[in-house]
């Protein structure tokens, strides 16, 4: 297959960026989007045309959350429920023009080309996205009973990979789905109950402080989430937030 690629190039955080156009040919339909970019980089290196395009990637099996490209206006491209590394070229037509951009959000500044800084997510987690269980001195695992449907719901939310597609998809660059998923994961479990109110307040305040926008319920985040995290997590986040304002410990 043959493609025309328009790729965002930007030297560093301070430099001005622009689109650069490259042609690429002989791409197998079974090849992943990142493997296609590998081949472009190989060509750029071999022909000494330009510096290779920088993009974040690691596990290449859709679980580490490192990769994330805005492809033809959609985070992680035009297939549902996949990360960029799992997007295959068979989802494009031969001869397509493809626009490739980094995540666009104030809280995710560009580092170089398609690489952005997502440390804001880590800071939100550091604000309270955990259960304070110091190593040792915990009860036997089966002393804590968790109803199966609760464990399943918690696991659904915990599947978030922290890639940032929800923020990139949102016109307000809101992180509500990311935060809501973590709140659901922990607040639903009996182990997460004691800190639930505090956790909710601290994570939301940190999210606001870091420049993420508000949720206006268009659910672009849910539509683009590679792990199909549900918008119900945002509703639960709001309930927990309101609950903690009134000093109530209701979680769900």
Partner 1 sequence: MKLDSKIPEGPLSQKWTNYKAAQKLVNPANKRKLDIIVVGTGLAGASAAASLGALGFHVDIFCIQDSPRRAHSIAAQGGINAAKNYQNDGDSVERLFKDTIKGGDYRAREANVYRLAEVSGDIIDQCVAQGVPFARDYSGLLDNRSFGGAQVSRTFYARGQTGQQLLLGAYGALSREIARGSVVLHERHEMMDLVIKDGRARGIIVRNLVTGELERYAAHAVVLATGGYGNVYYLSTNAMNSNGSAAWVCHRRGAAFANPCFVQIHPTCIPVHGDYQSKLTLMSESLRNDGRIWVPKKKEDAEAIRRGEKTALDIAEEDRDYYLERRYPAFGNLVPRDVASRAAKERCDAGYGVGPTGLAVYLDFADAIKRLGRDVVEQKYGNLFQMYQKIVDVDPYEYPMMIYPAVHYTMGGLWVDYELQTTIPGLFAAGEANFSDHGANRLGASALMQGLADGYFVLPYTLQNYLADQIYVGKIKAEGPEFDEAEKAVRDRMDSLMGIQGQHSVDHYHKALGRIMWEYCGMARSKESLATAKEKIAELEADFYQHVFIPGKAAEMNPELEKAYRLADYFELARLIVDDATQREESCGGHFRVEHQTEDGETLRDDDNFMFVAAWEYQGHDRPEVMHKEELNYEHIQIVKRNYK
Residue with smaller CB distance to partner 1, 18 or 149: 149
Residue with smaller CB distance to partner 1, 116 or 220: 116
Closest to 33 measured CA to CA, from 118, 116, 117, 114: 114
Write down the least CB distance from residue 144 to partner 1, Å.
6
Write down the least CB distance from residue 217 to partner 1, Å.
27
Work out the number of other CB atoms within 10 angstroms of the CB of residue 13. Answer: 11
Cβ-Cβ contacts under 8 Å for 18 (sequence gap 6 or more): 8, 9, 10
Backbone angles phi, psi at 200, to 5 degrees: -60, -50
Give the Cα separation of 158 and 125 in Å (integer): 13
Tokens coding 180? 């809501």
Write down the least CB distance from residue 216 to partner 1, Å.
27
Cβ-Cβ contacts under 8 Å for 125 (sequence gap 6 or more): 182, 203
Write down the least CB distance from residue 13 to partner 1, Å.
9
Residue with smaller CB distance to partner 1, 39 or 72: 39
Closest to 77 measured CA to CA, from 87, 85, 67: 87
Write down the least CB distance from residue 154 to partner 1, Å.
4
Write down the least CB distance from residue 218 to partner 1, Å.
26
Integer angstrom CA distances of residue 197 from 60, 73, 126, 138, 230: 36, 37, 16, 22, 21
Residue with smaller CB distance to partner 1, 176 or 203: 203
Residue with smaller CB distance to partner 1, 199 or 231: 199
Residue with smaller CB distance to partner 1, 45 or 242: 45
């Amino acid at each position: 297959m043959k493609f025309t690629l328009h790729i965002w190039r930007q030297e560093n955080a301070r430099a001005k960026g622009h689109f650069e156009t490259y042609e690429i040919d002989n791409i197998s339909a079974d090849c992943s989007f990142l493997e296609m970019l590998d081949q472009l980089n190989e060509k750029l290196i071999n022909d000494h045309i330009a510096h290779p395009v920088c993009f974040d990637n690691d596990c290449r099996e859709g679980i580490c959350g490192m990769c994330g490209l805005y492809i033809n206006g959609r985070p992680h491209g035009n297939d549902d429920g996949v990360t960029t590394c799992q997007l295959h070229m068979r989802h494009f037509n031969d001869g397509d023009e493809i626009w490739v951009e980094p995540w666009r959000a104030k809280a995710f500044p560009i580092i170089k080309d398609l690489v952005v800084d997502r440390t804001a997510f880590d800071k939100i987690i550091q604000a309270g996205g955990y259960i304070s269980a110091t190593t040792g001195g915990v009860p036997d695992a089966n002393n804590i009973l968790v109803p199966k449907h609760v464990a399943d719901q918690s696991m659904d939310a915990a599947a978030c990979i922290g890639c940032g597609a929800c923020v990139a998809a949102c016109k307000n660059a809101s992180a509500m789905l990311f935060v809501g998923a973590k709140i659901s994961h922990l607040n639903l479990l009996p182990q997460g109950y004691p800190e639930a109110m505090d956790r909710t307040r601290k994570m939301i305040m940190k999210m606001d402080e870091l420049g993420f926008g508000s949720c206006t319920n268009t659910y672009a985040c849910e539509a683009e989430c590679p792990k199909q995290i549900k918008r119900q997590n945002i509703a639960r986040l709001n309930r927990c937030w309101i609950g903690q304002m009134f000093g109530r410990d209701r979680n769900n």
